[in-house]
Amino acid sequence: MINRFIQWSINNRWIVAILALVWLLAGIYATDTMPVDVFPDFAPVRVVVLTEAPGFAPEEVESLVTRPLESNLNGTANVKVVRSVSTIGLSVITIIFQDSTNVLVARQLVSEKIQVVRGQLPDNVKEPVLAPMTTAAGDILKIGLYSTGETSSIDLRTLADWTLRMRLMAVPGVSNVVVIGGDVKQYQVLVDPEKLKQYDVTLAQVVSAARGSNLNTAGGIVRTNEKEELVRGLGRISSPAEIAETVVVERGSQPILLGNVADVKLGAQFKIGDAIVDGHPGVVLTVFKQPEANTLETTRALEKALTDLRQTFPKDVQVITTFRQADFIEIAVKNVSEAVILGGVLVIIILFAFLQNWRTAIISLTAIPLSLLSAIIALKFHGYTINTMTLGGLAIAIGEVVDDAIIDVENIYRRLRENASAAQPKSALAVMYEASAEVRGAVVYATMIVALMFLPVLSLKGLEGKIFTPLAYAYLVSLLASLGVALTVTPAMCAILLKKTKGGEESDGRVVKFLKRVYSPILNFSLRRPRSIVAGALLLFLFSMGNLFVLGTEFLPPFDENNLIVVTTFMPGTSLDTTTQMGTELTSHFIDKHEIMSASQRAGRAEGGEDYGASNVSEFDIRLKPDTPDKQRLLNHIRHEFSHVPGLISDSGSYLQHRMDHALSGVNAAIAVKLFGPDLDILHENALKIEKVMKEIRGAVDVHVEQIVDVPQISIKVNREAAARYGVRVKDLSDSIEAAFRGVTVSQVLEGQKAFDMYVWLKPEYRNNLNVIKSTLVDTPANMKVPLGALAAVTEGESPNTISHENISRRVVVQANVSGRDLGSLISEAKSRIAKEVQLPTGYYVVYGGQFEAQEEASRQLGILLAAALVGMFLLLSLAFKSPKAAIIIMANLPLALVGGIWAVLFSGAVLSVGSMVGFMTLFGISTRNGIMLVSHFNQLAEDGGSLEDVVRHSALDRLSPVLMTALAASLGVLPIAVLGGAGRELEQPLAIVILGGMVTSTALTLVVIPALLKLFGTGIRQGETIDDSSRK
């Protein structure tokens, strides 16, 4: 079947050449139209449910809102984990689904479950809503505004909400724009309790009057003989003065107005979040993209819209970009693209150096663009983006896609020269067919084995699977495409360019001749002392394996990006003003550093956002200049500045690291020690013990306990007997309490296209006074005015500030990052010490999450799949050579490759990551190719007769050139990634280092050890037809 392809390609060489050109153009078009991103979407399929419970304490939110919802949601199909946080007035539930679940289906399933539970929630709890659909790294742009002149904080926020946000939401690809900071404009009715007593008016009457003061009515249509006219009742107000003129009640003929019992004015909404921009009070807008949107295109469209709008802003309003995800994407894609190009150039140099014939070099090189662009077309067809991982797959493949073509071209060219020198030469096309078919089996089986060894990477699950699967896909498609090119385009190009090859031309170029002169004495020594060679290789392997166990482990290396994040937590109960004031002081310590472009702080939480931070929680976005040389040093400096503040807990890292950590464990840290149990006090007590142990472990930084402590609260407990005596319903009493101390939105005032809340509540000086709270008047059905203290017990107490769940169980997290030490050894020490030093009560248990959990799972998966792949390799080789002995000799390459890979890791940092493990799997496949070529040619020469030693010698010398070419091409193809590093190459660099080191030892030892093995065990490895026989029939 394959031989027919080869024959057809040679006979129809011009058609094949034209089709290859068309395919090349299609690949260029696909490259130009594919979206570009930084990484594949690594976030799990998730749905976030937000439920506001105004005025509820965290314990009430947990029991009345969160628990009913999460209990029902936990049984949803395909759910992996349900996490929740219950805080003051808000429940946030995050449902993580299996990766195979469609996100739209997941949202539909969650919506259906919510509807079932909705009737069980208290009446004054708002409708649960699904957060906008986005991804873990969906925040692509953060824009800071601040004023240096007369623009007030209210005007600044109004500008952000009603001008800037509305314009940005209209940009294609934008999912949501969340605004925090400034002051939200509000029409306020601030009630004076003393005036209520004076005029004998209740708060409920004030609320009712305010609510009815702002209405338009429809009067229908008046028809006359000639026309119809619409009748409208215009009752909407347009100023605080009009609100103040609203009648509350009448006493005889004297109306009592809102202005008599309340101050009516324009004011600022009560803040739950605030922002500081470059040291100035300001507003920050966070733009989220839709899951399938192109980050670069969306960012450019947002920036254009922002540029157009800035011309209309007041001159004193400053606009800066505090975070731009596209910065890292542009640098990363540029860096990886340069590595691909540089690797390709190095491969070209190697081919010309060895082949020293422009025709054969050009034919071999056609495999590079055709194979890589074939992968691009396949990636586009399957919905992938151009990102650092897909480009990384192409960069790793670039040195290997020429291997099949090299083998084919080298054999065809050699056979053509031999034929031209023969007494009775055959047709050149016939020789090409025979030469191509001669190595066809070796080419196909070698490519199949390389692909087989990489298949386990496609089977990875979780975050590691989402990251490395596109790399594996790009690599495998490139490899398989190169096989297709070798079987079709390469023979066709040979038929076009090599048809007139003359005999008598030198069979080897200068480089190959030199290498053979150097190699011959080494080969002779190997054949004279094969046992010594094999024993030496075995000792080297065993010594290297000993070093394997001293290597550290980590999940993923740190990212070299320009966006840093610092999450800070002050003591619970810290006010929002104090948090922002302290943030301003902290940023002043490093904002003037020349490496920093901007720094902004977001404290508390934004209305409409997923964040549930309390007033004591902040997140700082620090944007560095692109040419910042030592980002880790700067991060350590910032970490040091934050560590000196008493009572402050901070967690520092890069943006992508934070997002990946959160996707793994739900916390923004590399290590999450999760403690589960029923009682919050016991959880917190034992979490502090774990924190103490972790702080004593070398390499653990940013160690802290998720803060769950009691904060002050005022409790108003209804006396049902007293309420019944006065005929007051509990609901009416609750409504009065809510209006007095939390406030209530009664209407919206329209200003053109803008809408602002009209809000009723007590004056500030009365809301914080316990005696005033007790004396607040409540209406009874008998038109009596009864003080609240007569109907309820008003006391001061404490309540937890937040309560976290995971899979319905209460949970407290001790989190930490790692610095100056590998993750694996740190976790091993932590597990050992925590087990010894922290004795947990019955019903309480610890789970280790974060990067360590993902690394262990990835290692387990890869270990099992690698074993299966090695068994498959042995079976495939045994089938190909009809000899298990031949398969064993070829697989002797694997430990030889392992030697170089281990030493490369040891000298480059001594840490094994998931990328390193993927590199070893890639290396095993590549190094096996050389063994196949050598043993295959040995079998071919053995058929012609001769002594075993002569056959081994000739096969090794004949295959020296293709073995070195393919090995050098594979090594130099990944050299730029291995050596240069930098943004975008972080995940591929450990992989490239393993391949580079392994190829050095594998190639060197293959040319020495495999001939020795063939000398010792080569007799009888041909037990039937092999992969070379088909060409001889």
- Count the helix, strand and coil residues of the chain and give each as a percent rounded to the nearest 5: 55, 20, 25
Average pLDDT over the chain reads 83
Cβ distance 488 to 374 under 8 Å? Answer: no
Phi, psi of 698 (to 5 degrees): -60, 135
Any domain includes 636: no
User: Would you say residue 873 has pLDDT above 60?
Assistant: yes
362: left (phi over 0), alpha (psi -120 to 50) or beta: alpha
User: Would you say residue 543 has pLDDT above 90?
Assistant: no
For residues 466 and 518, membership in a common domain is answered with: no
Any domain includes 316: no
| 907 Cβ contact list (under 8 Å, min separation 6) | none
User: Would you say residue 965 has pLDDT above 90?
Assistant: no
Q: Could you give the CA distance from residue 192 to residue 763 in angstroms, rounded to a whole number?
A: 6
What does the pLDDT look like over 167-186, one tens digit per residue? 999 999 998 999 999 999 99
The rounded radius of gyration (Å) of the Cα atoms in the chain is 36
Q: CA–CA distance from 690 to each of 480, 575, 811 (Å)?
A: 51, 28, 14
Comparing CA positions, the residue from 341, 27, 310, 25 lying closest to residue 163 is 310
For residues 955 and 905, membership in a common domain is answered with: yes
Strands 215-223 and 710-718: unpaired
Q: Could you give the CA distance from residue 815 to residue 850 in angstroms, rounded to a whole number?
A: 9
Quick one: pLDDT at residue 260? Answer: 92
Residue 436, CB-side half-sphere exposure with 13 Å CA sphere = 30
Most confident of 54-68, 385-399, 607-621, 658-672: 54-68
What does the pLDDT look like over 812-850, one tens digit per residue? 989 888 887 888 888 888 999 999 999 999 989 998 887
Supply the range of the domain harboring residue 915. Answer: 511-550+882-1033
What does the pLDDT look like over 378-431, one tens digit per residue? 888 888 888 888 888 888 888 778 777 777 787 787 777 777 777 777 888 887
Q: 912-939 as b/e, with b when 16 or more CB fall inside 10 Å?
A: bbbbbbbbbbbbbbbbbbbbbbbbbbbb
Any domain includes 133: no
User: Would you say residue 1023 has pLDDT above 70?
Assistant: no
Over 823-861, what HEC string results? HHHHHHHHHHHHHHHCCCCCCCEEEEEEHHHHHHHHHHH
CA diameter of the chain: 132
Q: Which two tokens stand for residue 213?
A: 């003061």
Q: 672 versus 39: which is more confidently predicted?
A: 672
What is the identity of the amino acid at 201? V
Mean pLDDT check: name the lowest of 135-139, 481-485, 508-512, 709-713. Answer: 709-713
For residues 520 and 453, membership in a common domain is answered with: no
Quick one: pLDDT at residue 286? Answer: 92
Q: Could you give the CA distance from residue 156 to residue 146 in angstroms, rounded to a whole number?
A: 7
433: left (phi over 0), alpha (psi -120 to 50) or beta: alpha
Residue 220 pairs with which residues in a beta bridge?
A: 231
Phi, psi of 747 (to 5 degrees): -170, 180
Quickly tell me which residue has 């050299």 as its tokens. 975
Quick one: pLDDT at residue 1032? Answer: 38
Region 611-619: mean pLDDT is 78
Cβ distance 939 to 442 under 8 Å? Answer: no
Q: 311 versus 911: which is more confidently predicted?
A: 311
Q: What is the CATH number of the domain that holds 244?
A: 3.30.2090.10
Comparing CA positions, the residue from 873, 876, 896 lying closest to residue 1011 is 896
Q: What is residue 883's DSSP assignment?
A: -
Burial of 737 (0-12, 13-18, 19+ CB in 10 A): buried
For residues 434 and 526, membership in a common domain is answered with: no
Domain count, the chain: 3
User: Would you say residue 794 has pLDDT above 60?
Assistant: yes
For residues 891 and 993, membership in a common domain is answered with: yes
Quick one: pLDDT at residue 1020? Answer: 63
Q: What is residue 329's DSSP assignment?
A: H
Helices (H), 186-286: 193-199, 203-211, 240-244, 258-261
User: Would you say residue 145 has pLDDT above 90?
Assistant: yes
Cβ distance 921 to 990 under 8 Å? Answer: no
Q: Could you give the CA distance from residue 625 to residue 618 in angstroms, rounded to a whole number?
A: 23
Q: Could you give the CA distance from residue 809 to residue 67 in angstroms, rounded to a whole number?
A: 10
Last-in-domain residue among 774, 800, 826: 800
Q: CA–CA distance from 520 to each of 52, 516, 958, 1007 (Å)?
A: 80, 6, 11, 10
Any domain includes 481: yes
Mean pLDDT check: name the lowest of 158-167, 443-452, 775-784, 812-821. Answer: 775-784
Quickly tell me which residue has 């007769």 as its tokens. 945
Q: How confident is the model at residue 143 (pLDDT cuts 50, 70, 90)?
A: very high
Quick one: pLDDT at residue 992? Answer: 86
The pTM is what? 0.79
Q: Could you give the CA distance from residue 172 to residue 708 in angstroms, rounded to a whole number?
A: 41
What does the pLDDT look like over 484-542, one tens digit per residue? 888 888 888 888 887 776 655 555 677 888 888 888 999 899 888 989 988 988 898 88
For residues 1028 and 887, membership in a common domain is answered with: yes
Q: What is the CATH number of the domain that holds 424?
A: 1.20.1640.10
Within its chain, how far is the Cα of 445 from the centroid?
Answer: 36
Cβ distance 879 to 901 under 8 Å? Answer: no
Through-space distance between the first and last CA atoms of the chain, rounded to whole angstroms: 14
For residues 408 and 528, membership in a common domain is answered with: no
For residues 472 and 527, membership in a common domain is answered with: no
Centre a 10 Å sphere on the Cβ of residue 701 and count the other Cβ atoms it contains.
21
Q: Could you give the CA distance from residue 866 to residue 889 in angstroms, rounded to a whole number?
A: 19
Any domain includes 556: no
For residues 941 and 958, membership in a common domain is answered with: yes
Quickly tell me which residue has 């997923």 as its tokens. 610
Q: How confident is the model at residue 563 (pLDDT cuts 50, 70, 90)?
A: confident
Quick one: pLDDT at residue 307? Answer: 92
Q: What is residue 384's DSSP assignment?
A: -
Quick one: pLDDT at residue 152? Answer: 93
Last-in-domain residue among 489, 507, 525: 507
Any domain includes 425: yes
Quick one: pLDDT at residue 503? Answer: 56
What is the identity of the amino acid at 579? T
Mean pLDDT check: name the lowest of 50-54, 310-314, 398-402. Answer: 398-402
For residues 395 and 542, membership in a common domain is answered with: no
Cβ distance 814 to 694 under 8 Å? Answer: yes
Any domain includes 307: no
Last-in-domain residue among 778, 800, 822: 800
Q: How confident is the model at residue 234 (pLDDT cuts 50, 70, 90)?
A: low
Centre a 10 Å sphere on the Cβ of residue 549 and count the other Cβ atoms it contains.
6
Q: 916 versus 612: which is more confidently predicted?
A: 916
Cβ distance 1006 to 889 under 8 Å? Answer: no
Q: Could you give the CA distance from residue 733 to residue 713 in angstroms, rounded to a whole number?
A: 19
**Percent of the chain's residues with pLDDT above 90:** 13
Q: 549 versus 327: which is more confidently predicted?
A: 327
Q: Which two tokens stand for residue 548?
A: 């394997």
CA 532, 536, 542, 547: dihedral to nearest 10 degrees? Answer: 170
Cβ distance 471 to 390 under 8 Å? Answer: yes
For residues 492 and 517, membership in a common domain is answered with: no
Q: Could you give the CA distance from residue 262 to residue 260 in angstroms, rounded to a whole number?
A: 6
Q: Which two tokens stand for residue 461?
A: 């699950």
Quick one: pLDDT at residue 1033? Answer: 36
For residues 919 and 1000, membership in a common domain is answered with: yes
Instruction: Write down how long the chain is.
Output: 1033
